[in-house]
Amino acid sequence: MSKEKLLDMALNNKRHAEAGTMELVENIVKIPASNYFDQERWNKEVDLIFKRLPLVLGVSQEIPNAGDYKAIEALGVPVLIVRNSKNEVKAYLNACVHRGAALVEEGIGNKKRFSCPYHGWTYNQDGSLMGITSQEDFGNLEKDCNSLVSLPVLEKAGIIWVILNSESNVNMEKFLSGYDEMLELFDLKNWHVFSTRVLKGPNWKVAYDGYLDLYHLPILHSETFGKEISNQANYYEWGPHQRVVSPLARISSSEEGGVLEADPELPIEDWPMDMLMAGVWTIFPNVSIASFRGGGRSIMLSQLMPGETPEDSYTTQYYLMEKKPTKEQEVEAEKQFDLLEYVVREEDYSTGIKLQKSLKTGMIKDVMFGKNEGGGQCFHGWVDKILNTSDKDLPSLFD
Ligand SMILES: [Fe+2]
């Protein structure tokens, strides 16, 4: 089914490419410029979007084996993600229930048991409390009722989602709206994590607008991706998640030089998988996945998180490779990663940091998304919709 959908999209894109057209939405939409810098609104975005919805906090290959764990802090919430002996991924608050001490330092590792560094209470991979130090002195306590605080977690398509709220009523599968079946086509569960980097950027929505935007490519990226590439885009939606793709499929390739475009003579069924998966696959609210060739077939998964203020964010870039690279391919992959980091930092985010200064002056009242920028319109529409939905009604948004 999902492969069929992929071929349908490729065919639709190809028809547009041949006609020199793209799918346009009905109107130019204006949104208040203050949406990008208003402190109260930003606080709501963090609380009502990032702390209520599933967030991508890692990929399966970071913790492939039983006992592998990843500890991270996401928006001030210490999270411990663990793969148990049944190959299930679990997520907990990284905090001992005794007095809240972090069980492990941030990072990736492997443990059979988690022992609190403060008083030595121990937990198994399923979060059950196994041992209380000097229990005869501490007093009587039901171990069964004192497990680690569980967070909702879902592993699909080689990606791990967590909700930063132990009492969430959101159904994670419904939230994905069938998009996970499309993401499965990447087969990321078997990919190699080559490397990760963290970049500082502008307001998370300023940054995210850029991931959904092909209109700017031949202008802002004229010195890197080139002036000759198309600025047209088709958008496809699954709930709040969107794929943006040029009518003429293309991927950036350090091996073949610059941008590699689909051979118009080749039937779509014969296109290589990365060409079929071309474009940017965004996962609402903060992730993008784009295909590249650099040391072999690769993707860059970028995960954006709001920073300390409305004007800053952090992006973790994961460079994943279809196959474990040879020494030579590692050099090529590093080169491609350097280019991508440069483009995002020096071209996209540097532009974003400057534009948000102008918006903050208050002299520009609204920003615009044209008929060719339907993806941005859709994204901001979902942001508004979620901010205006109560906790009780949130799950029904994804029915
Ligand atoms: Fe860009």
* pLDDT surpassing 80 at residue 72: yes
pLDDT tens figures, 213-259: 999 999 999 999 888 889 999 999 999 999 999 999 888 887 766 78
Q: Supply the mean pLDDT for the chain.
A: 96
pLDDT tens figures, 354-373: 999 999 999 999 999 999 99
Give me ligand 1 centre to Cα 137, in Å: 61
Give me ligand 1 centre to Cα 277, in Å: 19
Name residue, tokens 């992730």: 287
Give me ligand 1 centre to Cα 344, in Å: 7
Domains and CATH numbers, the chain: 2-52+175-398 (3.90.380.10), 55-169 (2.102.10.10)
Beta partners for 155?
Answer: 160
Give me ligand 1 centre to Cα 75, in Å: 25
Give me ligand 1 centre to Cα 311, in Å: 18
Name residue, tokens 């048991």: 113
Token readout for 65 is 């084996």
Beta carbons of 93 and 104 less than 8 angstroms apart = no
Beta carbons of 226 and 339 less than 8 angstroms apart = no
Give me ligand 1 centre to Cα 234, in Å: 16
Q: How many CB atoms lie within 10 A of CB 391?
A: 13
Q: Burial letters for 261-278: b for 16+ Cβ neighbours within 10 Å, e otherwise?
A: bbeeeeebeebbebbbbb
Q: What pLDDT does residue 8 have?
A: 97
DSSP 148: P
Stretch 190-206: mean pLDDT:
97
Give me ligand 1 centre to Cα 377, in Å: 17
Q: What pLDDT does residue 272 have?
A: 92
Beta carbons of 320 and 193 less than 8 angstroms apart = yes
- pLDDT bin (cut points 50, 70, 90) of residue 264 is confident
Give me ligand 1 centre to Cα 50, in Å: 23
H or E segment to which residue 203 belongs: none
What is the dihedral sign for C-alpha 87, 77, 344, 172? positive
Stretch 333-340: mean pLDDT:
92
Q: What pLDDT does residue 203 have?
A: 98
Give me ligand 1 centre to Cα 289, in Å: 13
- pLDDT bin (cut points 50, 70, 90) of residue 263 is confident
Give me ligand 1 centre to Cα 208, in Å: 10
pTM of the model: 0.97
Beta carbons of 180 and 290 less than 8 angstroms apart = no
Give me ligand 1 centre to Cα 209, in Å: 9
What is the dihedral sign for C-alpha 58, 53, 306, 284? positive
